[in-house]
Amino acid sequence: MSLPNHPSSSKTLTLSQPHPSILLVTISRPTALNSISSAGHQELHAIWTWMDEQPSIRVGILTGAGRAFCAGADLKEWNNTVQGTSTSQKETPNMPPSGFGGLSRRSGKKPIICAVNGLCLGGGCEMVLNADLVIAAEKAYFGLPEVQRGVVAWAGALPRLVRTVGRQRAMEMALTGRRVGAAEALQWGFVNEVVPAEGDVVKRAVEVAAQIAANSPDAVIVSREGVKLGWEGLGAEEASSRLIEEWSGRLNAGDNIQEGLRAFVEKRKPRWVDSKL
């Protein structure tokens, strides 16, 4: 399916639409375990920004080709960059304000699901920790091995990790670099679902994305904003007040709330229109 006006094609990313309302982005550097270069960060940032601007696309999915989801930063590029530079220039690869893969610090408008097909380390894990939902293959495993390489998970994972799994588990991951399997990640709460070995993690992610896409696109956007406000540290009352102040008028002025209520009264499935939010 064609994707009109999408960002320029990339040698390391593949875009497709398994469903008219779903964008599937595949990191396609299997020989490099889908590590992401500086250029890759910019490309992914451009793709997620483009997705948010496309009314017909309601959900994004990120996965990897081969046996890895993402092994993190391209350390060969990073090493080449820092050789001969001053200490102040050696800290991190160049990446956009939205963070690693345009996702680890992304705010955005539309939900993104990570379909973790295998190895997920470093920056790959940082992306997962800021994704909206995470579907993992049974063989997948997660880790923040930065301390083993003399670097730090700068891209947003550390404060997000502690909110998700608690102080002691976050310290264990961040200070030891230990890898966490999919079943343990599910128990810890940073994976939504584990797909058995005989299953297809991308197929399952598409099924979940389709459930989201079947709902009011306006209500999905605003509901996601409400969750984010709490995630970012606001108290329940302050977050609720801000959500109502900023979004209730726009939601109520849209066509989809009227269609949803009308469809309920008429006992039929709603016919949503693309969101104008």
Give catalytic residues, as residue numbers: 73, 123, 126, 146
CA distances from 119 to 101, 104, 257 (A): 16, 17, 41
Return the closest-CA partner of residue 21 out of 215, 263, 204. 215
| Chain centroid offset of residue 207 CA | 16
Q: What are the two backbone dihedrals, phi and then psi, of residue 120, each rounded to the nearest 5 degrees?
A: -140, 95
The span from the first CA to the last CA of the chain, in angstroms, equals: 25
- Tokens 């599910």 sit on residue: 186
Q: Which phi-psi region, left, alpha or beta, contains residue 25 (left: φ > 0; alpha: ψ -120 to 50)?
A: beta
CA–CA dist 266, 234 (Å, integer): 39
